[in-house]
Structure 1
Amino acid sequence: MPLPVIYHEDYSPDFPENHRFPMAKFRLLQLLLVQEKTVAAEAFIAPDLAPMAALLRAHDAGYVTRFMSNSMHADESRRMGLPWSQGLVQRSLREVGGTLLAARLALSHGLAVNLAGGTHHAHRDRASGFCIFNDLAITALALQAQGRRVLIIDCDVHQGDGSARLLADVPGVFTFSMHAAKNFPARKAASHWDLPLPNGTDDAAYLAQLVPVVTLLLRHWQPDVVLYDAGVDVHGDDALGYLSLTDAGLYARDYAVLSACLNAAVPVAAVLGGGYAETPQQVAERHAMLPRAAQALWQAFMAPDEKAG
């Protein structure tokens, strides 16, 4: 079977073109992957909308209702940073559904990629930093309810403060965040392991710190599944990041994390995370490193009989 890659047209609803959040990047990424034949057009898997029960494991019912009904307070809307629309509601539910599906498919097949997700700033009762529902925390709690041990590897340039707070006291879930020390959020939460990096960290320095930690966590935490946030805002040309990874560094990072999980026989579900540039196309091209790395590893780790077929 092909690499499980989750996508839905709801990921890129109608949105102001001049907004800082590159909403079109999801659609552009899907088109790019088809054009370059990384993923066949018919191979994408469409997710369902996230069920309310899953949302309420992580989020306050009042907050969910206010967002869904467009009745948030002005301060709540400001923290969200996105213009409300029914399309945004649909997108938010579909995105979480995509990460839930990616986790299920990873458990079945070893590896899966959601071409959205990584909304790690969303808190129990509020949105923050373009993040509405915390797909990583929601999925981790769903997996934990099934008795599975979960490791979140968050490599977005911004600390996963929402995930850290939502999962701080959840047994069987471990949050690891590697991020720029001097970046949003100004007030950091306490992940189970935080690895803050100085401005300008390059490919070599980044990988030298990341790989040993991932190896250590896989060995000692012994998760049943990994949720990997592959934010590309660590890129040196990112508009909101202060690190200095190159395109090659993004690919090397994603390949290293995914291969470490697969070599340890730990299923891994990967999500896009953040990324900001002058155009959504530039961001999409950086996000393409994740499915490219996943596709290469999928071929390498396929069973011999599947390769023969």
Structure 2
Amino acid sequence: MHWPPLIYDACYSALQLPDRHRYPIGKYRALYQALLAAGVPLDCFVEPTSATRTELALVHDPLYIEALCSGQLDTKAMRRIGFPWSEFLINRSLRSVGGTIQTAQLALQHGLALHLSGGYHHAFASEGSGFCLFNDLAVAARVLQQQGVDKILIFDCDVHQGDGSALIFADDPQIITASLHGEKNFPARKQQSDWDLALPNGCTDAPYLEAVQQSLDYLLALHQPDLVLYDAGVDIHQQDDLGLLSVSTQGILARDQLVIHRCRDLKIPLAAVIGGGYQRDLTALTAVHLQLFKAAFVSLQLPVDIPT
């Protein structure tokens, strides 16, 4: 049996946040523990290395990197990010960006790799936003581009538009940005991706899955990417506190199966990150994030029992 690499670091959930903070920081540890409990072998998990400043600077302004890493970013800019500054926050962010880089590199080797973090797509070149300090998807795309990958598709299914990714790659025809997101959701000011599909509030399984299938098939046929970076956000879920869509757990599983199968059928390496999900009930949220891994394991015919 060939298990896909699963990239995870214990620091992902170790960040201390104020009581009742909106960000569900415990979900990464909960997801890791749930996968172990479901029978995933421990040696599948890969501990990432931190992204370097050189790698960050492929996307981000060095002045922004320095100000953020040194704690000199002004209060208003940190408020837009949504986290109180700490050295641990910076180290965690660097490790998560490094994790997405490694996920992409391992996907090229194995065909499929999954990151138990990632999807920080609201970070722009010179500012952070919406719980995103650095744009891991963008940095990973740039690193892989430098390493010789010709064309990369960022297929973003988080409920919030990948505005940072869209603007960063607006003038790069080799990195294609695609975002399927809630029309009436954050960010209020959308950027122009190469492919944007804004979904109405209350969108349910059938129209959502049709949108994903048609978008993905069109983009893969048109661009024939050498790598897909997939943001498998679950804030589209009907119980998500911030999502405004009405996709079921079964619908999320079907979406993830569709993306994985399409890429496998076409032999396109797929690197997936878990993206957003904002239920306060951590057990319920973890169960929804697990669908990405269930889709991967079913596709590879691996003996793991994860409920839908």
Pick the TM interval, shorter chain: over 0.9
Contact kept? 1:22, 1:279, Cα under 8 Å = no
The superposition leaves residues 274-297 of structure 1 with CA deviations (integer Å, 9 ceiling, x where unpaired) of 010123332222111111111121
Q: Does 1:77 align with 2:78?
A: yes
Q: Which residue identity lines up with residue 273 of structure 2 in the other structure? A: V
After TM superposition, give the deviation of residue 122 of structure 1 in Å: 0.3
Q: Which moved more, 1:43-52 or 1:227-236?
A: 43-52
Q: Which residue identity lines up with residue 128 of structure 2 in the other structure? A: A
Q: Which residue does 1:158 correspond to in 2?
A: 160
Q: Which residue does 2:193 correspond to in 1?
A: 191
Q: Which residue does 1:254 correspond to in 2?
A: 256
Contact kept? 1:163, 1:175, Cα under 8 Å = yes
Q: Distance in 1 between matches of 2:28 and 2:107?
A: 21
Contact kept? 1:29, 1:287, Cα under 8 Å = yes
Contact kept? 1:114, 1:272, Cα under 8 Å = yes
Contact kept? 1:180, 1:241, Cα under 8 Å = yes
Contact kept? 1:151, 1:173, Cα under 8 Å = yes
Q: Distance in 2 between matches of 1:108 and 1:88?
A: 30
Q: Which moved more, 1:120-129 or 1:85-94?
A: 85-94
Task: Tell me the percent identity.
Answer: 47
After TM superposition, give the deviation of residue 120 of structure 1 in Å: 0.3
Please list, as runs of the form range in 1=range in 2, the aligned pairs for 1:17-56 lying within 5 A after superposition.
17-37=19-39, 39-56=40-57
So what's the TM-score if we normalise by structure 2? 0.95
Name the SS of the counterpart of 1:276 in structure 2.
coil
Q: Which residue does 1:98 correspond to in 2?
A: 99
Contact kept? 2:59, 2:142, Cα under 8 Å = yes
Q: Which moved more, 1:275-284 or 1:98-107?
A: 275-284
Name the SS of the counterpart of 2:167 in structure 1.
helix
The superposition leaves residues 158-206 of structure 1 with CA deviations (integer Å, 9 ceiling, x where unpaired) of 0000000011111311000000000000000000010000111101110
Q: Which residue does 1:210 correspond to in 2?
A: 212
After TM superposition, give the deviation of residue 145 of structure 1 in Å: 2.0
The superposition leaves residues 50-86 of structure 1 with CA deviations (integer Å, 9 ceiling, x where unpaired) of 1211100110111111111111101111101012222
Contact kept? 2:228, 2:269, Cα under 8 Å = yes
Contact kept? 2:104, 2:113, Cα under 8 Å = yes
The superposition leaves residues 196-236 of structure 1 with CA deviations (integer Å, 9 ceiling, x where unpaired) of 00111101110011102101211120100000000000001
So what's the TM-score if we normalise by structure 1? 0.94
Q: Which residue does 2:306 correspond to in 1?
A: none
Q: Distance in 2 between matches of 1:55 and 1:98?
A: 13
Q: Does 1:174 align with 2:156?
A: no
Contact kept? 2:180, 2:197, Cα under 8 Å = yes
Name the SS of the counterpart of 1:58 in structure 2.
coil
Contact kept? 2:156, 2:179, Cα under 8 Å = yes
Q: Distance in 2 between matches of 1:110 and 1:241?
A: 30
Q: Distance in 2 between matches of 1:121 and 1:14?
A: 20
Name the SS of the counterpart of 1:78 in structure 2.
helix
Out of 298, 301, 304, the residue aligned to residue 299 of structure 1 is 301
Name the SS of the counterpart of 1:214 in structure 2.
helix
Contact kept? 1:150, 1:173, Cα under 8 Å = yes
Q: Which residue does 1:111 correspond to in 2?
A: 112
Show structure 2 runs of 5+ residues with no match. Answer: 303-308
The superposition leaves residues 137-175 of structure 1 with CA deviations (integer Å, 9 ceiling, x where unpaired) of 111111222332100100000000000001111131100
Show structure 1 runs of 5+ residues with no match. Answer: 301-309
Q: Distance in 2 between matches of 1:71 and 1:13?
A: 23
Q: Which residue identity lines up with residue 247 of structure 1 in the other structure? A: T
Q: Which residue does 2:305 correspond to in 1?
A: none
The superposition leaves residues 78-133 of structure 1 with CA deviations (integer Å, 9 ceiling, x where unpaired) of 10101222221111011011110011111011000000000000011111000010
Give the superposed CA RMSD: 1.1
Name the SS of the counterpart of 1:174 in structure 2.
strand
Q: 1:205 to 1:284 in 2, by over 3 A?
A: same
Q: Which moved more, 1:7-16 or 1:201-210?
A: 7-16
Q: Distance in 1 between matches of 2:15 and 2:276?
A: 19
Say how many residue pairs are matched: 299
Q: Which residue does 2:135 correspond to in 1?
A: 134
Contact kept? 1:13, 1:88, Cα under 8 Å = no
Name the SS of the counterpart of 1:71 in structure 2.
coil
After TM superposition, give the deviation of residue 41 of structure 1 in Å: 2.4
Q: Distance in 1 between matches of 2:88 and 2:235?
A: 25
